[in-house]
Structure 1
Amino acid sequence: MSSLDGEVCVVTGACGFLGKTLIKMLLEQEKNIGEVRLLDINVKKEVLQSLQEIRGDIKLTVFEGDIRDADFVRKACRGATLVFHIASIIDVTEAVEPSEIYGVNVKGTENLLEACVQENVASFIYTSTVEVMGPNLKGDPVVNGHEDMAYRCALKSSYSRTKKEAEVRALEYHGEWLPDGGRLATCALRPMYIYGEDCRFLLGHMADGVRNGDVLYRMSQREAKVNPVYVGNVAVAHLQAARCLKDPERRADVGGKFYFVSDDTPHISYSDFNYAIMSPLGFGIQERMMVPLPLFYVFCFLWEMVCLMLRPFRRVVPPINRQLLTMLNTPFSFSYDKAKRELGYTPKYTWQQARSNTTQWLAQQLPIQRQEIWKK
């Protein structure tokens, strides 16, 4: 497998959950990489400082700006050879205006792809999501799904629709001619729900549990099993994809394709996963959902209707909607066999390591959470 020696990498969303994990892994594993460019709308000083401490002789360059700015994006890609496009607006409650999500997730991706063509960038890896697959509104289950399966899905949320549209754009650009006579190679990775250190969703669930007397809410039924993936293993998959796209013999086989990314985290419901991570910290979990699932859908529908009626006067976002409730209560798991076979991807971190790392991080955050909640 090719190394990334000499590559000039652009990482969008560089200070985000996955972005900084990937950059850290790049710096630790690819000692002869040419340059790593951190592209983010807000480059956090603490993230940059932590990376500076491990970079060795590798050049780190900061590009602070908005991927909706085509000129800025082209400047960031000038002289680059590889782009990891991770940045996006993640919104599962429809709290963000659809036009805002579209601008970042779709137009931002188009700007990056066009910049790659204009600036002779050889490889582009798009970070997609399992949500481009579903689940559909009927809650049709998938158990150990794969890339070639058929699944009826009409994506409803702005997030899933824009991520799907951006993924399609990224794969369509595979094979585009570059000014230097080469061709752009692209591929897309579809991780499951990503967890690990700095996961804001886990932090939110823990805060809710603290408010509820250290009892986690049950929002999903036990049988609605999914397979979350550890952030470190998602970073590993990105590096493997990059090495494949650089390798002339593998490039044609991998380019233009998407791959599901999971690991050996047990198949488990979202709520029971939260409990598995947080039970060592003394948290319990509700035995059953607060209301039967059919009634929960009725409540969500009523919330959505009230918010819709208020929309001309004030934007109110319900804490949960029917699409999110379906996602939380649909068995929806996917295999990483194709990524293993074609990318050479093998999870670096076991479930035990991933769980321990995540729980330790949450243990550090717990006193801060309690203090903030007590103040309120």
Structure 2
Amino acid sequence: MMPSQEGQVYAVTGGCGFLGSHLVRMLAERCREVAEIRVFDLHLDETLRTLSNVRLIQGDISSLQDVRDALAGSHVVIHTASLVDVWGRVPASKVTKVNVTGTENVLRVCEEEGIQYLVYTSSMEVVGPNIHGDPFYRGNEDTEYRVYHDQPYPLSKSKAEKMVLDANGRKIKGGKSLYTCSLRPTGIYGEGHELMRQFYRQGLRTGRRVFRAIPPSTEHGRVYVGNVAWMHVLAARQLQERPAHLGGQVYFCYDHSPYKSYEDFNMEFLSACGFRMISSRPLVPYFLLYLVALLNSLLQWLLHPFCTYAPILNPYTLAVASTTFTVQTDKAQRHFGYQPLFSWEESKRRTVSWVRSFEEAEKSR
């Protein structure tokens, strides 16, 4: 018998983060049947208190008791809490503690409290791009690919996702079964994306000029944050209605955003603020970029006892930026009726509007 979704309690871990806050707003606006939305995060976004049926809970995902206090009594958990760090800004142990131990805590509380439904926010980096530069061109969830991880973030996300999927079908309190699925966004963009803010500030320092470093033929899949949030909402609903069908499955997050290099894609928004791309081809040979990336890694290691040196460019981020990784799939549509809620035109308009707000902030200084 299909469970009634009226009067349910949804818990969103990491609900004040970039994706999490968009997801919470979408739940509040589009899921009137949900009686309470618990937003669990270490740092609270007080603006979310204005939303109906939202309850903010401050706590640490790596603390089992904090997770238990936040999740107990909920019906559905959407686990977005994650520490994203590919630059070495935080110790590897902390990345593992948040991403792996935090996920262990969520699974344990689901088991102990009889919470049947868990949607996990994974990452494309569970698959790749790998550091060997092997392209993933228009791949889907079943495409064979040489997965190779040697960095804390993709290692932790890969381990966490495996734990979540392995837990599908596990018996939990009350003799019920736990049902889980995992969503893998490609590069998320949209309002509130901190990396876009960094690119904007960096461009100001170079006179609104962006110097091409990666060939335009290198393509990446990008997906708008609103569509990723919408996919989570649909997956949470349908996991309850069709648990045997969605349980244990992974889904890439996708929409109609164009395939472009990271630099060219970012220019879709930055050009609205007068930024311009310098050159149609890379100005620096790849081997020089790689040497700079290696030098940055060496400096990071040497300076570690004294300060945190974590530039954007390192061997891993260079490999990701210079390796084609695009997805072409309709699995989410087939399994739970997903269609992008926002067109590319609307996604671009919203993101450009947000980027332009930086201009107003600069003028008011």
**TM-score interval for Structure 1 and Structure 2 normalised by the shorter chain:** over 0.9
Figure out how many residues of one structure are paired with residues of the other and give that number: 363
**Structure 2 CA distance for partners of 1:293 and 1:3, relative to 1, 3 Å:** farther
In structure 1, the residue matched to 2:321 is 328
Greater shift, 150-159 or 78-87, is seen at 150-159
Partner of 2:220, secondary structure, is coil
Cross-structure match for 1:275? 267
What's 1:38 paired with?
Answer: 39
Residue 174 of structure 2 aligns to a residue in which SS?
coil
Could you tell me which residue of structure 2 aligns to residue 305 of structure 1? 298
CA contact (8 A) 1:209 1:217 kept: no
1:207-259: CA deviation from partner (whole Å, max 9, x where unpaired): 11111111124342201101200001001110111111110xx2111101111
Question: Structure 2: which 5+ runs fail to align?
Answer: none
Deviation (angstroms), 1:278: 1.7
Matched residue SS, 1:352 = helix
Give the secondary-structure state (helix, strand or coil) at the position aligned to 1:180.
helix
Contact 2:12 2:78 in 1 (8 A): yes
CA drift of 1:313 comes to 5.0
**Partner Cα separation in structure 2 for residue 155 and residue 110 of structure 1:** 20
Deviates more, 1:275-284 or 1:263-272: 275-284
3-state SS of 1:62 partner: strand
C-alpha distance in 1, partners of 2:57/2:363? 36
AA partner of residue 347 (structure 1): P
Question: Which residue of structure 2 lines up, in the alignment, with residue 337 of structure 1?
Answer: 330
Within a 5 Å distance, the mapping from 1:310-321 to structure 2 comes to 310-312=303-305, 314-321=307-314
Q: Distance in 2 between matches of 1:227 and 1:313?
A: 38
**1:323 Cα offset (Å):** 0.9
2:108 corresponds, among 114, 117, 121, to 114
**How much has 1:45 moved relative to structure 2?**
1.7
Q: Structure 1 pair 72/293, CA: closer, same or farther in 2 (3 Å)?
A: same
> 1:65 is matched with which residue?
59
Q: CA deviation at 1:35?
A: 1.0
Distance 1:31 1:307, change over 3 A: closer
Q: Which sits farther off after the overlay, 95-104 or 282-291? A: 282-291
Q: Residues of 2 paired with 1:22 and 1:336: CA distance? A: 22
Deviation sequence 1:53-105 (CA, Å, 0-9, x none): xx2xxx32221010111011111111101000011111121221000000000
Q: CA deviation at 1:336?
A: 3.4
Say what the alpha-carbon RMSD is for the aligned residues: 1.7
- Tell me what 2:149 maps to: 155
Residues 281 and 79 of structure 1, relative CA distance in 2, 3 Å threshold: same
Q: Deviations over 1:246-303 (max 9, x none)?
A: 10xx211110111101110011100000111121221101214341112111221122
Greater shift in the superposed pair: 280-289 or 301-310: 301-310
Could you tell me whether the CA contact under 8 Å between 2:83 and 2:95 is conserved in 1?
yes
Residue 174 of structure 2 corresponds to which residue in structure 1? 180
Match of 2:244 in 1: 252
- Give 1:370 shift: 6.2
Match of 2:28 in 1: 27
Aligned to 1:285: 277
Q: TM-score, normalised by structure 1?
A: 0.92
| Contact 2:49–2:55 (CA under 8 A) maintained in structure 1 | no
CA contact (8 A) 2:119 2:180 kept: yes
Residue by residue over 1:312-370, the C-alpha shift from the partner in whole angstroms, topping out at 9 and shown as x without a partner, is 55543343101100111111001231111112111011100000000001111223246
| Distance change >3 Å, CA 282–CA 204, structure 1 → 2 | same
Contact 1:210 1:370 in 2 (8 A): no
5+ residue gaps, structure 1? none
The corresponding residue for 1:143 is 137
Deviation for aligned residue 1:48: 2.4
Q: Distance in 1 between matches of 2:66 and 2:35?
A: 21
Instruction: Give the distance between the partners of 2:54 and 2:307, measured in 1 at CA.
Output: 44
For the residue of structure 2 that corresponds to 1:189, the secondary structure is: strand
